[in-house]
Amino acid sequence: MSSPAHEPIVSGRSYEITDIGGTAPTSLDDFVTGSAALVTITLAGGDHPYLAHGSAVRDGEGVHFFEKDAAVGKDTRVWRITQDGDGFHAVHDPRF
């Protein structure tokens, strides 16, 4: 389940990813979970961290992370995760 949002998630805004399940990511492959496993990512970008639970697949130079509602397993939003010199960043992708 996702943490309650203290601030709205803004489409197109980049959020820094600070950890995956309590560990700092080192590569985009850290986000890829396989068919059934779920991971938790922590996003920074506001006054409070936002926890997103879900699964991910590689997509070219990035990752699509499918955030899930833990109660029903339904996708709640999709994040596009990329890596650059400043670390890992997620942007809500409203196309999904």
Specify the pLDDT at position 7.
64
Pairing between strand 50-59 and 14-20? unpaired
State the pTM of this model: 0.79
In a domain, 6, yes or no: no
Under a CB-based contact definition with an 8 Å cutoff, are residues 28 and 83 in contact?
yes
The residue written with tokens 């899930």 in the block is: 68
Whether the predicted pLDDT of 77 surpasses 60: yes
Residue 32 is part of which domain span? 14-92
* Helix, coil or strand: residue 31: helix
- Examine residue 3 and state whether it is found in any structural domain, yes or no: no
Q: Is 7 a domain residue?
A: no
How many domains does one find in the chain?
1
Nearest Cα to Cα of residue 95 among 61, 69, 71, 59: 59
Q: What is the pLDDT of residue 8?
A: 75
Read off the pLDDT of residues 8-44 as tens digits, 9 standing for 90 and up. Answer: 777 788 889 988 888 888 999 888 866 555 677 787 7
Q: Does the residue 1 lie in any domain? A: no
50 domain residue, yes or no: yes
Residue 29: inside a domain, yes or no? yes
